[in-house]
Amino acid sequence: MSELEENLARIRARMDAACERSGRQPDSVRLMAVSKHQPPSRVAEAAAAGLRLFGENRMQEAKVKIPQSPGHLEWHFIGHLQSNKARDAVSLFRVVQGVDSLALAMELHKQAVKQARSLPVLLEVNVAGESSKFGWNPDRLLAEFLELNALSRLEVHGLMTIAPYAVDPERVRPVFRRLRELRDRCSDLLGAPLPVLSMGMSGDLEVAIEEGATLVRVGTALFGERPRRTDPDAATEATEAG
């Protein structure tokens, strides 16, 4: 087994154990490979190991990498997106995770109309209210949710969050729980299910799964430590989890 295959086996075992502890089916949680900073060769390696879902958080990098990668992969944009990159996001990505304002949602809707597609989105929530992070304040999201949902070319599939870093993942359990509760309240407003909860990364995926994650986003536990960015616009585009 290659190192990546070994890492993948370890991640799957962690996911399965968390599902078992919480009485969930293992196929109720999707694993996303977060390939930011990784070259196309690493994406190809992960695809060969059976991964299909990939996440990128920077448009410049994605624009180069996605066309060089196997065609059957599903790409999600997972970071903060500037409105002037909405057009590229709609043409390159199947899903935009991290829609964090009504203004961005309206721009994505406009671009989706132009490109004659509908766009699944997840709404990013700043559950812990960290000033360094993007995302909706929970009350504001509840206030704007129906307006968002009225954008006909956006399909709101659920919520996502980036939990604060903690050495002990138990400490972020309340963040994941609050995201799930907020999802339930949005779903009540809507009168329809919002099935997706994107939460949990390399260090805290078990706790996220126990609290209801349906998609975990894993970078370093799969690929190892990220190579440093070398391209010139890295500094201006770095995001919260960059």
Residue 34 as a binder of ligand PLP (CB under 6 A): the answer is: yes
Report residue 87 as tokens.
């057009």
Give residue for tokens 């057009």: 87
Interface with ligand PLP: number of residues (CB under 6 A): 15
Residue 218 as a binder of ligand PLP (CB under 6 A): the answer is: yes
Report the residue from 33, 59, 78, 141 that binds ligand PLP according to the rule CB under 6 A.
78
In the complex, minimum distance from the CB of residue 16 to ligand PLP, in angstroms, rounded to a whole number: 18
Whole-number Å distance between alpha carbons of 8 and 31: 10
In the complex, minimum distance from the CB of residue 218 to ligand PLP, in angstroms, rounded to a whole number: 5
Report the residue from 128, 181, 202, 229 that binds ligand PLP according to the rule CB under 6 A.
202
Q: Which is nearer to ligand PLP, 57 or 214 (CB)?
A: 57
Residue 89 as a binder of ligand PLP (CB under 6 A): the answer is: no
- Binders of ligand PLP among residues 124 to 163 (CB under 6 A) are 162
In the complex, minimum distance from the CB of residue 208 to ligand PLP, in angstroms, rounded to a whole number: 11
Name the residue number minimizing CB distance to ligand PLP.
219
Whole-number Å distance between alpha carbons of 121 and 102: 12
Whole-number Å distance between alpha carbons of 130 and 26: 32
Residue 219 as a binder of ligand PLP (CB under 6 A): the answer is: yes
- Dihedral sign, CA of 149, 199, 179, 213? positive
Whole-number Å distance between alpha carbons of 212 and 206: 10
Phi, psi of 32 (to 5 degrees): -100, 130
Residue 201 as a binder of ligand PLP (CB under 6 A): the answer is: yes
Identify which range of 111-119, 126-134, 145-153, 218-226 contacts ligand PLP by CB under 6 A. 218-226
Which residue from 75, 101, 96, 85 is spatially nearest to 233, judged by alpha carbons? 85
Whole-number Å distance between alpha carbons of 51 and 38: 15
Identify which range of 115-123, 126-134, 170-178, 215-223 contacts ligand PLP by CB under 6 A. 215-223
In the complex, minimum distance from the CB of residue 62 to ligand PLP, in angstroms, rounded to a whole number: 12
Cβ atoms 125, 101 nearer than 8 A? no
Q: Which is nearer to ligand PLP, 37 or 109 (CB)?
A: 37
Label residues 25-59 b or e (16+ Cβ within 10 Å = b): eeeebbbbbbbbbbeeebbebbbebebebbbbbbb
In the complex, minimum distance from the CB of residue 241 to ligand PLP, in angstroms, rounded to a whole number: 3
Distances (CA, A) of 192 to 1, 174, 223: 44, 25, 37
Kindly list the residues in this chain that would bind ligand PLP in the complex (CB under 6 A).
34, 36, 57, 78-79, 162, 201-203, 217-221, 241
